[in-house]
Amino acid sequence: MNLTITNLSKTYSNGVKALKDVSLTIPNGLFGLLGPNGAGKSTLMRTIATLQDADKGEIWMDDLNIPKEKQKLKQVLGYLPQEFGFYTKERAINQLDQLCMLKGIANKSERKQVVEYILKKVNLWDARKQKLGTFSGGMKQRFGIAQALVGNPKLIIVDEPTAGLDPYERRRFHNLLAEIGKEIIVILSTHIVDDVSNLCTNMAIIDKGKILIQTDPGEIINDYYGKIWEKDVTGVDMEEFEKEFDVISTRLYAGKVFVRIYSDSDPEDYFRSVEPILEDVYFHTLSDN
């Protein structure tokens, strides 16, 4: 199954061009849409989910014309927006049962089996009788995925799902997404590079409404071998330094400032060659935009 987006554009009433001729082909599996805040990620996710219309362009999921067959898409779509609401005084098992009813699962016995299966899949079965308002941030995100799984979706969209989660909950969420993404399309929209690096075999970088690159994370990292250099620049005038070198990022470590630069050849001047990471690709791609 493929999700194909062609020349999608969206301009809001205030004149902001949120999407500019976006074209992507997204296969089965985990797909990472990586970009800074305000890049157009959420606009693209809402448009795919038919929560808003594009000004022009097409979106197809195999032979399903999404903008023209919105109801058919809703039957196979699971969506976890960046901000989602639920009844805080409702118990998890009851809320999910109600959602199953809304998805058309009328048989009580069948709903019971579906609810149990999903809550166990997201590791919330033991908290099934707990009120949603008492859930931790990670538990709420996992319940959000539980809602998205109702109805056996073929496409799941998750928008900034790990923002604010502690490292333990982020790892649990990663494992859950990896399991879900084995047989269906899962689009992970995020500004957190590690989420894409850890999970996705296909990705795109978006900024200012434009797709800058679509690639395999492993392959693009290989292209950067021998081109990333690091140096301790503690006390250096960074304004002058950036005039001379293609600076990708800086970081603090043990009270010292280290800089990473992009260079096709050895810049000498006490730089050392370092192994590239997806963050280097991300920042370098953005800096060229």
Task: Spell out the SS3 assignment of 38-88.
Answer: CCCHHHHHHHHCCCCCCCEEEEEECCEECCCCHHHHHCCEEEECCCCCCCC
| Percent of the chain whose predicted confidence (pLDDT) is above 70 | 99
Say what the pLDDT of residue 43 is: 94
Confidence check: pLDDT of 83 > 80: no
Say what the pLDDT of residue 116 is: 94
- The model's pTM: 0.88
Q: Give the confidence band of 106 by pLDDT, cuts at 50, 70, 90.
A: confident
Confidence check: pLDDT of 85 > 80: no
Alpha helices in 82-128 (DSSP H): 92-102, 108-121
Say what the pLDDT of residue 268 is: 86
Query: Averaged over 105-134, what is the pLDDT?
Result: 91
Residue 205 and residue 175: Cα distance in Å, rounded?
23
SS3 at position 208? coil
Q: Are 176 and 122 a contacting pair, CB within 8 Å?
A: yes
Query: Averaged over 264-284, what is the pLDDT?
Result: 94
Residue 176 and residue 78: Cα distance in Å, rounded?
15
Q: Give the confidence band of 115 by pLDDT, cuts at 50, 70, 90.
A: very high
DSSP state of 125: G
Q: Which CATH architecture has domain 2-218?
A: 3-Layer(aba) Sandwich (3.40)
Say what the pLDDT of residue 13 is: 93
Query: Averaged over 150-157, what is the pLDDT?
Result: 90
Say what the pLDDT of residue 97 is: 93
Across all residues in the chain, what is the average pLDDT? 91
Q: Render pLDDT for 251-271 as a digit per residue (tens, 0 to 9).
A: 999 999 999 999 999 998 889
* Cβ neighbours for 31, distance < 8 A, ≥ 6 positions apart: 185, 186, 187, 188, 200, 202, 203, 204
Query: Averaged over 241-248, what is the pLDDT?
Result: 92
Amino acid at 8: L
Q: Render pLDDT for 158-208 as a digit per residue (tens, 0 to 9).
A: 988 777 778 888 888 888 888 888 889 999 998 889 889 988 989 999 999
| Percent of the chain whose predicted confidence (pLDDT) is above 90 | 64
Confidence check: pLDDT of 103 > 80: yes
Q: Give the confidence band of 30 by pLDDT, cuts at 50, 70, 90.
A: very high
Say what the pLDDT of residue 73 is: 93
Using alpha carbons only, how large is the chain's radius of gyration in Å? 22
Say what the pLDDT of residue 196 is: 92
